[in-house]
Amino acid sequence: MKDTTFSVSDATRLATAYADAEPQPVRMNDPQVVRNDDEVITFSPSRVFDPNSYPSDGVGMIGTARDYLIFLEALRTRNNPILQPESIELMTKNAIGALPAPSLDPGWRFGLGFAVLEDPKPTASPRNPGSWRWGGVYGNSFWVDPAAHLSVVALTNTAVAGMTGDFRDSVVRAVWASHDNTFATIIPLEHRPKRSTRTCCPLR
């Protein structure tokens, strides 16, 4: 992962951040307030240009789709020198038992690292039980289906529509409707060509 960091100096490699609005998204100001259902989120796009900004893994990381796919594949395949397979297992399985998870879609539970799909029937999800997912409020989402040997990354520049709702669900449907693996982001890493684009996007 050579393109993942907490601050950048080359603005030309950074995707312009947009915020949900009607009738269409608007370019973010700084600060920018965005409503997500009953939640209000304040964004500060300029913080990525400050090398002294706090390196928070929850709100400040930036990188490329390829780097993030490498990260997800390292977890999916259990092939990495940092985390033991047992640790990844805890991250990607239900850690809350039967406790309610009202912030998640029906059938999903919390693991120690991600939201984990236990029952796809309530939402008619095509993904297999044991799939896991998460997202970022700047407009990113990802999910992994270990049974299908599949890791999917979708980076957009629109908060928060790229993280949740119709766009995220449409990506899921498109992946499962595709039979020719035409999307670079849905091809398992071991089958991807070595050459890739290097467009930098926020990963917050």
Structural domains present in the chain? 11-202 (3.40.710.10)
Residue with tokens 């297999």: 128
Element (H, E) at 69: helix 65-76
Element (H, E) at 18: strand 18-19
Give dist(CA 139, CA 64) in Å, integer: 13
The encoded tokens of residue 130 equal 């044991």
Walk along the chain (204 residues) and give the pLDDT tens digit of each residue: 888 888 888 889 889 999 999 999 999 999 999 998 888 999 999 999 998 988 876 777 889 999 999 999 999 999 888 999 999 999 999 999 999 999 999 999 999 999 999 999 999 999 999 999 999 999 999 999 999 999 999 999 999 999 988 899 999 989 988 744 444 343 343 333 333 322 334 443
Sign of the torsion angle spanned by Cα atoms 195, 164, 112, 89: negative
Sign of the torsion angle spanned by Cα atoms 104, 109, 114, 118: negative
